[in-house]
Structure 1
Amino acid sequence: MDNNDLVPGFNDEKDGSLEIFLSKIEGASNSILVTLSGYIDTYNSDYFQKQTVKIISAGFKNIVFNCQNLTYVSSTGIGSLTSIEKKAKANSGEIVFTGIQPKVFEVFQLLGFSQVFNMKESVEDAEEYLKKEKDDNISTFPKIFDCPVCSKKLKAVKSGRFRCSDCKAIIVIDQNGNVFLG
């Protein structure tokens, strides 16, 4: 399926440093998978933001960003992601990130966004999350827990991947509040 079939006019603009591929998520209403390949920096963040606004304007509320082939995100790129998340939430939608490479995750963490953004291990996990009722998170989160490595008290406001602020261990918390080393 062509990007223009899902979002009219999506392919009208291109950027050589960032390729964006769209596919509909079956079984999750108003949800789309956005596969990113390349990088997001100061020079292409406006392009990235415009393309994502087109997706939201086309009626997709929930966006899963597959970041497996995303090699770098600058602080300006993080700013674009934050702006996009605000737009999605204003439309009662949600943004979920999957496949984040360690180098990219490090930027998220350094800027304090690793605990803000909803991150899942795989596209399948993200799709399953969007298909489930969100009511599960109301009773489970926020969750106070001990780091499984250094026992520091941590707080998570939602499920996802996190890094302990003391020992830097990667921790995964599922929708039910179960804590795992990631």
Structure 2
Amino acid sequence: MSNNNDLVPGFNDEKDDSLKINLEKINDVDNGLVIYLNGYIDTYNSSFFQKRISKVVESGFVNLIFNCSALNYVSSTGIGSFTAFLKLIKPKGGDIVLLEIQPKVYEVFQLLGFSQFFNIKDSLPDAINFFKQGAPVSESIFPKIFSCPVCSKRLKATRAGRFRCSECKSILAIDQHGQVFLG
């Protein structure tokens, strides 16, 4: 993998030894970029991580594949960063795929209830196909029954939109594809 961080102006202006980030353009996906993460994401470096990815989105890349094969730890704050990226790119027509997540990192996503919010793939071709095919826009997925990611209460959404969990009062959003996220 070559370092193509010059794809995003000013991307390398700031460095953090705990998290190395490399970029690779995906020619098969409109506004697509693979972001290779090496190290860990926690409370101390999440601000650095968020600033770097915000630069990526500001440069027009909204279909992001995070290669997590060399990411050995993510705290709840780090998962919050990924959630913030989803909120940032969804209105721009983009999406996120997490790729090759290590089991101990995936376990944190599951324990916190976030594994259902993210598209998780095992290979780069699978991730690219996700963006090429796109999720079908169909009202037939509604009503959708799902569990609240915060309190696990079973909920039913009759249409896309924002609403509040009846149990824990968390604000949730569901898009036209049936994907649920905090919101």
For the structure 1 residues 8 and 43, does the alpha-carbon distance in structure 2 shift closer, same or farther, using more than 3 Å as the test?
same
The count of residues paired between Structure 1 and Structure 2 equals: 144
- TM-score, normalization: structure 1? 0.73
1:3 shift after superposition: 3.5
Q: Which runs of at least 4 in structure 1 moved beyond 3 Å after TM superposition?
A: 1-4, 137-144
Aligned-pair identity in percent equals 56
Match of 1:169 in 2: none
1:116 shift after superposition: 1.1
The amino acid of 1:128's aligned partner reads N
CA contact (8 A) 1:3 1:10 kept: no
Classify the secondary structure of the residue corresponding to 2:40: strand
Report the RMSD for the aligned CA atoms in angstroms: 1.9
**2:67 counterpart of 1:55:** no
Classify the secondary structure of the residue corresponding to 2:34: strand
CA contact (8 A) 2:5 2:22 kept: no
Match of 2:83 in 1: 82
- TM-score, normalization: structure 2? 0.73
Q: Deviations along 1:102-137, whole A, 9 cap, x unmatched?
A: 0000000010001111111112210111122432x6
List alignment gaps of at least 5 residues for structure 1: 145-154, 156-182
List alignment gaps of at least 5 residues for structure 2: 146-155, 157-183
CA contact (8 A) 1:3 1:11 kept: no
Match of 2:177 in 1: none
Match of 1:97 in 2: 98
1:61 shift after superposition: 1.2
The amino acid of 2:40's aligned partner reads Y
Aligned-partner Cα distance in 2 for 1:140–1:69: 38
Match of 1:70 in 2: 71
